[in-house]
Amino acid sequence: MTGATLARLSRIRQLDTHRLIPSKYSDGGASVLVRIADDDDHLRAIFDLDDATNDRLLAENDRLPGVGVDELVFGIAHYRIINAAFTHASPLGSRFNGPDRGAWYAGFELETSQAEVAWHKSVELAEIGWLHESVAYDDYRADFGGEFHDIRDAPGFDACLSPTSYVEAQGLAERLLAAGSAGILYPSVRHPGGTCLACFRPALVGNVRKDARWRFTWDGRAEPRVELEADDPDQAVDGLVACGSRNDGKLGCGS
């Protein structure tokens, strides 16, 4: 059995998908390295060391085995954010990618992306026994068009949607990637009724733009409070707006 033949192809035109990225990694923000530098000379030395081990920069210079420079994008809005999704893979991989090559994960709905981010960060905090944290995330919207492999409502893919294991999903992704797949559509495991997309090709991540900034706050509970911090992350905004005032989702709003 091959994933390429088992998973059907669906042609989509999906606008305004959502990918939430920690604001500290966002385009236009001050580097976190500034905080540990004693002076400008020290900061330059730290940047040189960071650049020498930065997977995105290595890939952009064709020195990373998982993704070639010919696949990356340049000269478009937020190209560094796009490339980083494919070059900074988790050491254990994610649901539909291994450790050597990342993917652009996005939710069709904002609430889906919020639920996915909240779940993964909550697990990370629980592992260190610390559920007191506040993290800002920027919402990067992107548009997708074309044919993607689709396991929504498809029999035989339950193991790929396991809430506890990525083994089968990563195996499917490896076969699809080798077969030239653009990516995969699948039901969200963390937000019932939501839809996720894992795009395998940097060039297919279209019209990326930065939208609102959201703050996730853990105050001792596994489920965070989610609040709108800024409609435009590049503009300074005082205070927070409860998430219910921006969208109709209920995630983290005390319901």
Q: Strands, E, within the chain: which ranges?
A: 8-22, 104-107, 132-150, 183-187, 195-199, 206-219, 225-230, 241-242
0.85 exceeded by pTM: no
* Strongest mean pLDDT among 22-36, 55-69, 97-111: 97-111
What pLDDT does 241 receive? 42
- In angstroms, what CA-CA distances link 116 with 3, 83, 111, 209? 24, 21, 9, 20
pLDDT digits (tens, 9 = 90+) for 133-164: 999 999 999 999 999 999 999 999 999 999 99
- Per DSSP, the three-state class of 72 is coil
Q: Following DSSP, what letter does each residue of 234-252 receive, concatenated? A: TS---S-EEGGGT-S--TT
Residue 58 has pLDDT above 90, yes or no: no
What is residue 222's DSSP assignment?
S
Q: Which of 248, 83, 54, 216 is nearest to 139 (CA)?
A: 216
Signed CA dihedral, 141, 145, 148, 151: sign only: positive
Residue whose tokens read 């998908």: 17
Q: Which residue has the higher pLDDT, 247 or 203?
A: 203
pLDDT digits (tens, 9 = 90+) for 66-85: 788 889 999 999 999 999 99
pLDDT band at 246 (very low <50, low <70, confident <90, very high): very low
